[in-house]
Amino acid sequence: MRIEEVMTRTPACCTPDTELREIAQMMVEHDCGQIPLVQSTSHPKVLGVVTDRDIVSRLVAQGRNPLDLRADACMSQPVITVSIDDSVEDCIQVMEAHRIRRVPVVDDEGVMRGIVSQADIAQHVSHASTGELVKEVSRIRRPEA
């Protein structure tokens, strides 16, 4: 099965200058914890992502006020993506390897075509594959000795 068959086709996106308040509102409206960051609405090349964790860990925990900042203040880069031509199995491997719950789907030029979440995977693949994905992504990171 190709990733194009399971992805969400029109995810909410932001640009580097989108205010974090607006991004938080998008997360609530779309019931998600990640908003892909694109170059512009007319040229949606994926540059990064902003997660709820980015806002908390990179800003709030350091005493910075997210209400005064824009997406470029805390976006995650480099962005991990999958190709629209990839298989679901390839996507699962990428998500497991990078321990991510959502991944933008891009074309050959890096332009946003959709997004895949663990929930999208769960709705279309076996329970065993879904369970393994959740297990690997949720594995506790141990500090190196």
- Would you say 97 and 11 are in contact if contact means Cβ atoms under 8 Å apart? no
CATH of 3-138, one of 3.40.50.970, 3.10.580.10, 3.60.10.10, 3.30.420.10: 3.10.580.10
Say how many Å lie between the first and final Cα of the chain, rounded. Answer: 41
Domains of the chain, by residue range, sit at 3-138
- Would you say 12 and 117 are in contact if contact means Cβ atoms under 8 Å apart? no
Q: How far apart are CA 102 and CA 35, in angstroms?
A: 10
Does 13 have pLDDT greater than 80?
yes
Cα–Cα nearest to 66, from 77, 76, 52, 78: 52
Give me 138's structure tokens.
């949720």
pLDDT in tens, 21-43: 999 999 999 999 999 999 998 99
> In which element (H, E) is residue 72 found?
none
Q: What is the pTM of this model?
A: 0.83
pLDDT in tens, 112-136: 999 999 888 888 765 555 555 555 5
Q: How far apart are CA 6 and CA 2, in angstroms?
A: 8
